[in-house]
Amino acid sequence: MPFSTTSEKASEPSLPQATFRFRCIGCASVTAAAPQDFRCCECGNLLEITDSTWNSRNPVALKTLWRERRTLNESLDLSGVWRFRDLLPAPQSERQVVTLREGNTPLYDLPQSSRTTGVQSLFAKHQGMNPTGSFKDAGMTVAATFARQAGYGWVACASTGNTSASMAAYAARGGMRSLVLVPEGKISWSKLSQALDYGALTCQLRTDFDGCLRLLQELVKRAPVYQLNSINPFRLEGQKTLAFELLEQLDWEPPDHIIVPGGNLGNSSAIGKALLETLELGLIPRLPKLSVIQAEGANALVRTLREADGKHLVSVQAETRATAIRIGNPASWEKAVKVLQATGGACEQVSELEIAQAKAEIGAEGIGCEPASAVTLAGLKKLVRQGFVKREETVILVLTGNLLKDPDFTMEFHRGDLFKGTALEHESASLNPLRHPPVILDATLDAVIKALEQAEKSGPTPSSA
Ligand code: F0G
């Protein structure tokens, strides 16, 4: 079932007429409709969404309008995604919009990490504060809206956990059924349990994420299911709003660096697209550098750039405890390469120990995140050492998932079990000062007071700014 973009009539005045098109990132051919697999019929490359009307907006008027909408109680304005609808593909009707009031995520300063890295102006944009606990919601509201508008009964995704949780929630809200394909034993229980609660048909496949995605690509050609992986360009449109919202929070003074984790590479592609569009429109005077950080064991983009100069994908057999980014064959690698080149960003990899340390440090700021998000802080440390990030520059770390997404990792870390029986066991002792294991005590006043005294002796009070 081809997906048409032509709108019959806009029934609410708050939404503009749909004028967007699909453009191939390879051969640049433009079409009004996209095939089921969201690949170009001419050359097979990925599609992106363009809209010639975006460029004609007045940047000053847009900034005022977006700020005004924050004071309104209309459903679209309460969403931190649809508030920016002027630079998003327009659905035919507001009634089609599936929203959980996503976006509107906080920008936190990181005083402790600022001290340890020496970067004075360091912030975290916490996408883990979205309704299902990850950045996926920003893209899902847009893609689920267009799935509903196209009349699909089923939506489907392959996932390392967060996409499936988000998709299942938005499908449930939008009255659609959802099919989840996840690698068996390789996603966290919290994410899996979300999909179950939101009513998805959840299939744990005996393969990895890349195997799940391959299967889904075949499935969408055979069955009337709508694919909600980040290959779906509507997802990336929604994820653009992270950048719009961030820039607005910085009063449109662009930071020097934005650092994101890289898995399937949809998010970096989306943020990069947003930055280029805001520059072209005159919303910002210059581009931040967008850098992508991967786990050493899932470093396809790092190797693609180092070994193939970004010209072809170097796939890897992915292995990392940061299961969200345990991906060896990232679908959007070409989009990400273009974004890195356009913004002058870096691509780095970090070790399992560095990830665990950074995650504990972000937790100690009272913020917390899931392991995949912590690669950003670990990567920043490397980029500072390399001189790529200067200490006087402004840096934004994009935290993609909530601390509660992977409690097993956190518990194992604090109990000292995370690296037990692995080659890293000995080395991981260096992380002991960051561990805060629970203590089991008799239920007596004496025992608790002794524990307090012990804690007082063993470490300083956490310091704030
Ligand atoms: N951080 C988290 C918490 C994620 O869940 C993901 C991807 C990423 C980073 C990487 O983002 O793929 O856009 O480069 N998770 C996907 C999923 C693949 O299925 O939930 P990316």
Q: Tally the C-alpha atoms within 13 A of residue 78's C-alpha that lie toward its C-beta.
A: 9
In the three-class reduction of DSSP (H, G, I as helix; E, B as strand; rest coil), residue 47 is classed as strand
Closest CA to 259 of 374, 387, 395: 395
The rounded Å distance from CA 286 to ligand 1 centre is: 27
Contact of 160 with 187, CB cutoff 8 Å: yes
Helices 333-343 and 266-281 sit at what angle, rounded to 10 degrees?
A: 40
The rounded Å distance from CA 268 to ligand 1 centre is: 10
Block residue for tokens 């195997």: 211
pLDDT at residue 159 in the model: 97
The rounded Å distance from CA 308 to ligand 1 centre is: 24
Task: Please state whether beta strands 347-350 and 21-24 pair in parallel, antiparallel, or not at all (unpaired).
Answer: unpaired
The one-letter amino acid at 136:
K
Helices 136-149 and 162-174 sit at what angle, rounded to 10 degrees?
A: 40
Q: Which atom of ligand 1 is nearest to the CA of 266?
A: 13
Helix residue ranges per DSSP H, 223-351: 233-239, 241-249, 266-281, 300-308, 333-343
Contact of 47 with 25, CB cutoff 8 Å: yes
Q: Which atom of ligand 1 is nearest to the CA of 230?
A: 13
Contact of 113 with 366, CB cutoff 8 Å: no
How does 203-219 read in b/e, with b if 16+ C-beta sit within 10 Å?
Answer: eebebbbbbbbeebbeb
pLDDT at residue 463 in the model: 55
Spell out which residues line ligand 1, taking CB within 6 angstroms: 134, 159-163, 230, 261-268, 324-325, 370, 372-373, 400-401
Residue nearest to atom 7 of ligand 1 (CA): 324
Per-residue pLDDT of the chain in tens (465 residues, 90 and over written 9): 443 333 333 334 356 678 999 999 999 999 999 998 999 999 999 999 999 999 899 999 999 999 999 999 999 999 999 999 999 999 999 999 999 999 999 999 999 999 999 999 999 999 999 999 999 999 999 999 999 999 999 999 999 999 999 999 999 999 999 999 999 999 999 999 999 999 999 999 999 999 999 999 999 999 999 999 999 999 999 999 999 999 999 999 999 999 999 999 999 999 999 999 999 999 999 999 999 999 999 999 999 999 999 999 999 999 999 999 999 999 999 999 999 999 999 999 999 999 999 999 999 999 999 999 999 999 999 999 999 999 999 999 999 999 999 999 999 999 999 999 999 999 999 999 999 999 999 999 999 999 999 999 987 665 544
Helix, strand, coil percentages (3-state) for the chain, rounded to 5, are 45, 15, 40
Contact of 26 with 43, CB cutoff 8 Å: yes
pLDDT at residue 445 in the model: 98
CA dist 363 and 360 (Å) reads 5
Global confidence as pTM: 0.95
Query: Could you tell me where the beta strands, DSSP code E, fall in 262-403?
Result: 289-295, 347-350, 394-399
pLDDT at residue 7 in the model: 34
| Tokens describing residue 214 | 């391959």
pLDDT at residue 460 in the model: 65
Neighbours of 305 (CB within 10 A): 21
